[in-house]
Chain A
Amino acid sequence: MEASDTIFVAFKKAILGFLQGFLPDWTVVIVSILISITAIAIFGPVTMMYLTWLERKVVGRIQNRYGPNRVGIFGLLQPIADGVKMLTKEDIVPQAADKVTHFLAPVIVVIPALLVFSVLPFGKGMAAVNLNVGLLFFLAISTMSTIAIFMGSWGSRNKFSLLGGMRAVAQMVSYEIPMVMSVVPVILVTGSLSTVSIVEAQLGGKWFVFTPWGFFAAIVFFLCGVAEVNRTPFDLPEGESEIIAGFHTEYSGMKFALFYMAEFMSAFAISGLTATLFFGGWDGPFLPSWVWFLIKAYAMIFIMIWFRGTLPRLRVDQLMGFAWKLLLPFALLNIFVAALWQLLPAPKNLIVAGAAEAVVLVVIFVAARKDSPQKRTYIFAD
């Protein structure tokens, strides 16, 4: 148990201990950094490859079909076949495109997606860096992908790309706010921005999702996260039935694959962060800590895919209304509930915070009723 729990940490320590024998100290530090970087740089793309496979499988099953099952057993080699196809495809740059921006966008979009993995605690002592502003770092860096997406859409010089990019910026800026607001209660309760200490505050099954404020904050955070990574039902920036492929209309081959990769890696990072903040991160009985983390992250990913298999795309006004009229006030009031919870002594706070949460829910529901979709009446059809 203990050995399997720390297997990766012990492996890294063994390598460093071996190198310490004959290398100067400063090189060992660099090697230590390099090992972490390599681990993340391998983990990210491999996760992305198998997320594409998983997504196609799950969506296939939802739609009463098998999904990929031809390449390898259960279609497990499908991502490799896709990769070969992507690499051999022609790379087309539009004549009127801004060549530099068009080239840089897919490169830049992958960087934040990989960087955010550095603060995720994959297991006990398995965060690449224990930043004391880890959460802030995550939120700040993951927003950077907006710039890359807008670069790509602007550089393509295509009206559909530009529309997609504009939508992406509007959407991401809007959803950033309720997302950060829904995280504030966690920071309030744990008193730390470090992802590692947030997990340590939840050890022993005291997951925040089991508290009245944590349950709803988790929902708000996860929905905002889905919107942040442009996944259905919030995939307006790439709404294929309206604007072809949105911001990556003019991308082909490996550049397109990089956009795709960034999307899936961000989706995994958001799932991992949801698990870290509200579902106790790597906390769990019997299994090694990193297995628990992966189980929780993949459960979140499954929910994302499940969303994709179920929900149709929102309209732009619905999307904006959802963020500004529903999620934002709810997240703000949730901070108040979490403060009540933190202020009162242990047995009393559950009742008071629960009651407050119920009041908040009713208030939000009543306030949003005017904007919620009404039953459609047909004037001319019988």
Chain B
Amino acid sequence: MFGFGVLKGMSVTLWNFILSYIYPKKGITTVQYPEKKKEVEERFRNFPFLVYDGTPDNMRCVACDICAKECPPKCIYIIPEKDAQGRIQKKPATFDIDYAICMNCGICEEVCPFDAIFMDHEYELSEYDRLSDLMYPKEKLLKPVEHFMKIRPTDCGAIEAQRAAKGIKGRAAQVQSAPAATVKPAETQQNPPANA
């Protein structure tokens, strides 16, 4: 009937108003951000980090430059380490990611054949200077594999199981059996197609 829709709407809003006082759990959906934080989903991804086994020296990255080539906005910059004779070593001397440029696509994670780079859950990255402070060098990017296990247990469990099945045991073993590691087929990558 004419005019009754108004009353119906008014009753809905009044009920919301009352509910917010008598039962705030349901009546109020706000999360008081700096004090309380919402749990992020396991599949949440935002900026890449580098994985190491045990100590930061044992990083998985071999400076193959695939991620830097695949990166759409070209935010990854890698210089491989060289020994005294100038031969290229399987380890990066410089590994910089410019978080100001990174667009969180996760392609680096998908293309990495050495399971060395993954997307992190960290999102409070505000800085005062976007040029210098958001340029993340190797030291800031390196995080232990336990951290990966903590934030994304499903992905990490699957990947580590694969690595164990293939007999890959961290850096020392990987360097010896490098040819075996590079022929890792594409479908064994960590991300199912749903995320791609």
Contacts from A to B (Cβ < 8 Å): 58, 61-66, 306-307, 309-311, 365, 368-369, 372-373
Contact = CB atoms under 8 A, between A and B. Distances in A.
B11 to A, nearest CB: 9
Given A369-B2, A373-B2, A65 B10 contact: no
Interface stretch (B25-33, B103-111, B161-169): B25-33
A372 B3 CA distance: 9
Contact of B27 (A64, A311, A369, A372): A64
Chain B interface residue number, banded:
10 to 19
A306 B10 contact: yes
Interface of B: 2-3, 6, 9-10, 12-14, 16-17, 20-21, 27-30, 32
A365 B2 CA distance: 8
A65 B21 contact: no
Contacts of A65: 28-30
9 contacts: A61-B28, A64-B16, A64-B20, A65-B28, A66-B30, A66-B32, A310-B9, A311-B10, A372-B3
Contacts of B32: 66
Given A365-B2, A368-B2, A372-B2, A61 B16 contact: yes
B30 to A, nearest CB: 5
Contacts of B30: 64-66
Contacts of B3: 372
A66 B13 contact: no
Name the 10 nearest CB pairs between A and B, nearest first: A372-B2, A61-B20, A310-B13, A65-B30, A62-B13, A61-B17, A310-B9, A64-B29, A62-B17, A309-B13
Contacts, number: 44
Contacts of B21: 61
A373 B20 CA distance: 33
Nearest to A369: B2
B28 A66 contact: yes
A63 B16 contact: yes
B13 A306 contact: yes
Contacts of A58: 17
Nearest to B18: A61
A305 to B, nearest CB: 10
B142 to A, nearest CB: 37
Contacts of A373: 2
A173 B29 CA distance: 42
A83 B16 CA distance: 30
Nearest to B29: A64
Given A64-B20, A309-B17, A310-B10, 11 more contacts: A61-B16, A61-B17, A61-B21, A61-B27, A62-B16, A62-B17, A63-B16, A306-B10, A309-B13, A310-B9, A310-B13
A46 to B, nearest CB: 25
Most chain A CB within 10 A, of B2, B3, B13, B30, is at B13
Contacts of B9: 310-311
A357 B3 CA distance: 18
